[in-house]
Structure 1
Amino acid sequence: MADAHVAASQGPGLRVWALPGIGEVRAGDDIAKAIAVAVGAAGADTGSGPADGLVDGLVDGDILLVTSKIVSKAEGRLVEAADREAAIDAETVRVVARRGPLRIVENRQGLVMAAAGVDASNTPAGTVLLLPEDPDASARAIRRGLRDELGVDVGVVVTDTFGRPWRAGLTDVAIGAAGVRVLDDLRGGTDAHGNPLSATVVATADELAAAGDLVKGKAAGLPVAVVRGLGHLVGEDADDGAGARALVRPAAEDMFRLGTSEAVREAVTQRRTVRAFTAEPVDGGALRRAVAAAVTAPAPHHTTPWRFVLLESAEARVRLLDAMRDAWIADLRRDGKSEESIARRVRRGDVLRNAPCLVVPCLVADGAHTYGDERRDAAEREMFVVAAGAGVQNFLVALAGERLGSAWVSSTMFCREVVREVLDLPADWDPMGAVAVGHPAQAPKARPAREASDFIETR
């Protein structure tokens, strides 16, 4: 090793070393210029040159791994905060999980991490350090600065330390990148045995970040590392594109987005009535898992008053909906509605017809008590109706957790005899509306804000 304070690791064709001499970074400092000065000082100090190639200045194709903390300091992200929790609140978009004082959240940069990346270590009392406002933009600025200062075309990765689900310990990952291919998509190729690769997309930027962390260390005061030997990952085609943002899994593809009690609450609050669906089929397993959640609802007298009729075939749906439409039209004509008005109302009711799956929840009150008293008998019936509603709500929330859209419509309650006849249901099964289920054709509209206090009376 050319110098004792320069950590380096070498493999076939690959070198990774930490760059000494960066020093303390303050607001307004130019990170690219600080790196350029440190590169020159390291080369002069060690006397290394092209022959040994360890710290012989930066060359085209090198990749710099820059700890986000110095980027944040240079960008003035050190802020006064008497309460770190308040700072975390300000940076949080969504709480993913919570255990005691620890919060895993999605922050304003779209990153899911502990405490929104708010750092209170190695900062003056009463202050905290926030992540860079736009880490990809920070990486691009450093890359351009190094090109201006040293005339080299390098890649830049801004790194931060993350914990990981299912794995103990911390590692550095990429939160910003410029000029680096952050994902290496190997799908469509084959492995050494000729087997097709169908799901292999390598997070190269995260692997680079972790390699740099091995030589930078957490407490060595070496915030920048250099990787040499992976020039094929660097180039104009990788510059200023999606950056490290491409490493953040889209919400629609995140299988674990709803994996905690906090996420269950989110499923409740994010559930929407969906009226337009794609033609994509609905997984029968997802429907059955939603029913399993539905039947955990509370019910009177230890009964199980829920039944769910799944109309998964188009033929069954059309037969039921045609019969219900005819019954509805007959009702509207009895009400004296015009044929134009009737046609308009029927069109508005097509949400059930346009869904790829239809579910009819039914109430079976076979455990109800009979008192022979009108007041108590009415209350008994209401108990079972409330239990049926709780089951339907569980069902809708579980569908949201399965990333399925749904719409509860009351129509079957107005023609129960028709529904029972068409579906060949027992006489004591009371249809409690119908639920259209499918994959949403578009993102739901934002729900108007509702303040819980508007619905609360305290005594």
Structure 2
Amino acid sequence: MELLPITTPVLKAGDDLASILMSAGDIADGDIVVVSSKAIATVEGAAIHLDDVTVSSEAAQLGEAHSKPGAYYQVVLDETARMNGKVIQSVSGIVLTELKPDGMKEGSILVPNAGLDQSNVKEGHVIGWPTDPVKSAKKLREDLGGNVGVIVTDSGLSPRRKGVISFALTVSGLDPFASMIGKPDLFGNAMSVTEEAIADQLATAANFIMGNTNQSTPAVIIRGHDISMNDFSGWVEGIEREKDIYHGVI
């Protein structure tokens, strides 16, 4: 399997992302294109100017507690509410949020700051996810044409683990999971519970190439894989809180 970076000029609102990716990368039939959610949000004009934000008392208190602009935390609170979520806690200026976006049938997403970021965006702005990441993934796949898949990603954290990883928000053109149930292990024992998180693993592998600073590599091509392609488009769903091994811990 090959992972091929797509390096582009700095993206801006109104850019034709599919055309830019096709010009900068040799996307072929059967490829999976892993793309940053922030890249899509940028071209869709989803960046938010903090000067335009009305700050509530709750956001102001968070700002004072963590020495950051209250407007930033207001956007975090607004995005959390928009995605049917709630604030779990805040540590070292980072707000852990649990989100249940419209269309997500099972589980929720635990993510810092409701997916918002102040990096790779103009000063005084914040950027989060596309307004509808499922629609965005499907449209990008259609615009790229051919038999390709799309994975929309964001960076996040794992419990008790140091450092940033990436995870898949939405996919189009492939299943995000592959069940190993019933398949034999090295000793012939049938697997009973294992389900491979295909999209998440590809997201993290691609993010290692994309980087999180000034690489200007918003997408990576996954080529030479044996993943079945189909017409599925949707959120990469999770598990309900009561079934989560971390339930009661976070």
* Counterpart position of 1:34: 20
**Cα distance in 1 between the residues matched to 2:228 and 2:165:** 21
Answer yes or no: is 1:203 the counterpart of 2:193: no
**Cα distance in 1 between the residues matched to 2:144 and 2:112:** 32
**Cα distance in 2 between the residues matched to 1:206 and 1:112:** 14
Answer yes or no: is 1:71 the counterpart of 2:40: yes
Q: Secondary structure at the match of 1:256?
A: coil
**Cα distance in 1 between the residues matched to 2:156 and 2:92:** 19
**Cα distance in 2 between the residues matched to 1:108 and 1:34:** 31
Answer yes or no: is 1:245 the counterpart of 2:236: yes
- The 1:214/1:101 distance shift into structure 2, 3 A limit, reads closer
Which of 214, 221, 224 does residue 226 from structure 1 map onto? 221
* Counterpart position of 1:16: 3
**Cα distance in 2 between the residues matched to 1:121 and 1:215:** 17
**Cα distance in 2 between the residues matched to 1:15 and 1:251:** 36
TM-score, normalised relative to structure 2 = 0.82
Answer yes or no: is 1:84 the counterpart of 2:72: yes
Q: Secondary structure at the match of 1:164?
A: coil
Q: Percent identity?
A: 28
Query: Structure 1 residue 170: deviation in Å?
Result: 0.9
Q: Secondary structure at the match of 1:179?
A: strand
How many residues matched?
A: 220
Q: Which structure shows the bigger proportion of residues in strand conformation?
A: 2
- The 1:210/1:100 distance shift into structure 2, 3 A limit, reads closer
Query: Structure 1 residue 183: deviation in Å?
Result: 0.4
The AA in structure 2 aligned to 1:97 is Q
Q: Secondary structure at the match of 2:167?
A: strand
- CA RMSD, 1 decimal: 1.8
* Counterpart position of 1:337: none
**Cα distance in 2 between the residues matched to 1:81 and 1:140:** 30
Structure 1's unaligned 5+ residue stretches are 1-13, 40-56, 261-459
Which of 90, 105, 113 does residue 97 from structure 2 map onto? 105
**Cα distance in 2 between the residues matched to 1:120 and 1:232:** 34
Q: Secondary structure at the match of 1:113?
A: strand
8 Å contact kept, 1:63–1:234: no
Query: Structure 1 residue 100: deviation in Å?
Result: 4.3
Deviations 1:104-148 (A, max 9, x none): 11135342111111111232232211211222221111100011x
TM-score, normalised relative to structure 1 = 0.46
8 Å contact kept, 1:205–1:244: no
8 Å contact kept, 1:186–1:197: yes
Q: Secondary structure at the match of 2:95?
A: strand
- The 1:33/1:231 distance shift into structure 2, 3 A limit, reads farther
* Counterpart position of 1:183: 177
8 Å contact kept, 2:168–2:236: no
Query: Structure 1 residue 99: deviation in Å?
Result: 2.4
**Cα distance in 2 between the residues matched to 1:166 and 1:196:** 31
* Counterpart position of 1:94: 86
* Counterpart position of 1:154: 148
What does residue range 46-445 of structure 1 map to in structure 2 within 5 Å? 57-82=26-51, 83-92=71-80, 93-107=85-99, 109=101, 110-147=108-145, 152-219=146-213, 220-236=215-231, 239-240=232-233, 243-246=234-237, 248-260=238-250
- The 1:188/1:231 distance shift into structure 2, 3 A limit, reads closer
**Cα distance in 2 between the residues matched to 1:145 and 1:68:** 16
Query: Structure 1 residue 15: deviation in Å?
Result: 0.7
- The 1:217/1:124 distance shift into structure 2, 3 A limit, reads closer
